[in-house]
Amino acid sequence: MRTVLISGAGIAGLSLAYWLTEYGFRPTVVERSPSLRTGGHAIDIRGTAREAVSRMGLMDAIRARHTGTHGIAILNEAGEPVARMGGDDFGDSGGIVAEIEILRGDLVQILHDALPSGVEYIFGDTVTALAEHDNGIDVTFDEAGTRTFDIVVGADGIRSGVRDLVFDAEIRDMGYYMSYFAAKMDYDFNGWELMYSVPRRAVLIYPVGDSGEVRAGFAFACPEVPDARSDPKAVLAKVFDGVGWEVPGLVEQLRQTDDLYFDRAAEVRIEQWSNGRVVLLGDSAFGGSVGMGTSMALVGAYVLAGELSENGYEQAFAQYQCEMRDYVATHRKRPPGGTNGFLPRTRRGIWLRNQFMRLLPHLPGRKRMMGGIEKSANAITLKPYTRSVSPA
């Protein structure tokens, strides 16, 4: 039986572990955090990715945890809605809000619960060295010593440690920071996500049902701040000091949270996703899309595991990239306006952006302007890999 080390217990890593066990592999999952990271924002499952989770038998569980949102409301500086975009404004599953939207942490938990009890986890540890040889690849962990596996999968995100050990990748800076945390708001959302902007800053609010629980996102554009990750709460509090609407109350909750995601937005550029016995999956290979990272992770895990079930690792890795290349490429296009459209520099820029968003659902060619979401989400057909309990 072939052994596979998966670095990263996120959506990509857990999805791959599921499919590998279905094909008779023995995966081990190593995760930097001391436990599953169940926080995070709302994520979409679009197009072919729905078929991937359906083949896992998880669609009912995922639909049951739908956030209940049906569109995005753009607010002005007084907190008043000036534009709304519903989930069906761009056609079936082509809307700015997908039909299936779920909190990242809920999807991670669903995937984890779907895995058999025999899957091995190593929490609170990282891979520090890799040494390939004819019989496998020796993996040195920061805490767990050295072990040998047949292959290693880097599914550890845009800041992938596995990728840094083996590959020469370009990480393109997108010019802004993004953060998410859980909060409470006494606000009548009525199923709408909210976006509130001031120059170079934005607040995104995802309601979780009608309980008053939300996921708050703070984004801001600026040159990279030295040591920002050492005290992200202080950085965010300073950047959003003096911003109006509901922001002061959210900043106070930010100061108290124990579950904060904070990172610099970036895009991964890499020619080959594999090198020897090491292969990359999810954001570590193709991070930086807008709204399609989860779907690409789910589809990529299905394809990679399927190819490994039918081929030796060298051919499997090549086939995996061949199958996924065009699908991934369709999601590398930036939306209209890019970063400046998301985080305008001036109040006039915000006003112009808001007017465009107000008119967009009514404009001819609106689906094309949104990047052909429906078409790109279905730009791959899943092969019917044969499940096996004893891969060669």
pLDDT above 90 covers a percentage of the chain that reads 68
**pLDDT for 135:** 94
pLDDT at 78 over 50: yes
pTM for the model: 0.91
CA 289 to CA 83: how far, in whole Å? 24
**pLDDT for 335:** 61
Q: What is the pLDDT of residues 333-377, one digit of tens each?
A: 766 667 888 899 999 999 998 888 888 777 776 555 555 566 677
For residue 321, give every residue at least 6 positions away whose Cβ sits within 8 Å of its Cβ, in sequence order, or none. 272, 273, 274
pLDDT at 84 over 90: no
Which one is predicted more confidently, 87 or 62? 62
**pLDDT for 77:** 85
Which one is predicted more confidently, 169 or 88? 169
Output the DSSP codes for 107-151. Answer: HHHHHHHHS-TT-EEEES--EEEEEEETTEEEEEESSS-EEEESE
**pLDDT for 291:** 74
- Please say whether the beta carbons of 41 and 217 come within 8 A: yes
Task: Give the mean pLDDT of the chain.
Answer: 89
Q: What are phi and psi of 20, to 5 degrees?
A: -65, -40
Question: Can you list the domains of the chain with their CATH numbers?
Answer: 3-67+103-171+267-334 (3.50.50.60)
